[in-house]
Structure 1
Amino acid sequence: MPCFRCGARQTDPVRGASPWRRAVRADHQVLVCPDCQAAHDWADDLDRCASCGSAALVCRLGEVECRDCGHTRDAVRDDQPLVPSAPSPADGLSEEVAAALSRVLRRGP
């Protein structure tokens, strides 16, 4: 899943906690890349908890839950795209898969 703001794709994870953050926008789970997190206004586009106002939300199994206060509500979804101008998740995917396969297959025993 790409970053909802810039469309950047995650790369192979390193050990430890991921620098990417999960969030909810229009009742859809989204990811925010480290570069977009550096922007001071990145959280302005996210959904907020109706109970405490926190943006620390997760969406799972048709429910949105606040990580800060535990408030839950049903997710209301529509078919509108979250980021109309963002690149499609499939853009460049075949090249990324080919590069990953090349890296893996060159690591012979």
Structure 2
Amino acid sequence: MPCYRCGARQTDPTRGASPWKRAVRDERQVLVCPRCQAIDGWTADLDHCTACHSSTLVCRLGEIECRACGHVRTAERTGDNLVTSEAPGLSEEVEAALSRVLHRRAAPT
């Protein structure tokens, strides 16, 4: 999944904790790359906890949980709040990578 702000894609992680942050925006799980985290006010357009106003939220199974205070609420947008990516060409990149790994020939067009 790419960074929701700039579209950068994660690469294979090195050892240790990932510098990418998970967050929730419009009740959807998103990732934020380290470069975008360096921008002042990068959390302004993220969803915030209704109890403590933290932006350290995670979205899973129709619920949004605050990692700061533990407050859990039901997501208002049920059914479409799964992790999604609207990055252009991602499915084609995945298909090409699978073809390389599995030594498949490209399908004729």
Q: Mind listing any 5+ residue stretches in structure 1 that lack a counterpart?
A: 80-85, 102-109
Q: Does 1:50 align with 2:60?
A: no
Identity of aligned residues (%): 60
SS in 2 for 1:97: helix
Tell me what 1:4 maps to. 4
CA RMSD of aligned residues (A): 2.4
Q: Does 1:74 align with 2:90?
A: no
Q: Does 1:62 align with 2:26?
A: no
Letter in 2 for 1:5: R
For 2:43 and 2:10, the matched residues in 1 are separated by 19
Provide Cα deviations, 1:22-51, integer angstroms capped at 9, x if missing partner.
000011100000000000121011000000
The answer to whether the 8 A contact 1:20-1:31 is kept is: yes
For 2:54 and 2:43, the matched residues in 1 are separated by 10
**Structure 1 residue 88 displacement after superposition:** 2.5
The answer to whether the 8 A contact 1:58-1:66 is kept is: yes
In structure 2, relative to structure 1, the CA distance for the partners of 1:64 and 1:94 (3 Å cut) is closer
Tell me what 2:97 maps to. 97
Q: Mind listing any 5+ residue stretches in structure 2 that lack a counterpart?
A: 81-85, 102-109
For 2:38 and 2:56, the matched residues in 1 are separated by 17
Q: Which is richer in helix?
A: 1
Tell me what 2:106 maps to. none
For 1:89 and 1:22, the matched residues in 2 are separated by 22
Give the number of aligned pairs.
Answer: 95
The structure, 1 or 2, with the larger RCO (C-alpha pairs under 8 Å, 6+ apart) is 1
For 1:96 and 1:11, the matched residues in 2 are separated by 16
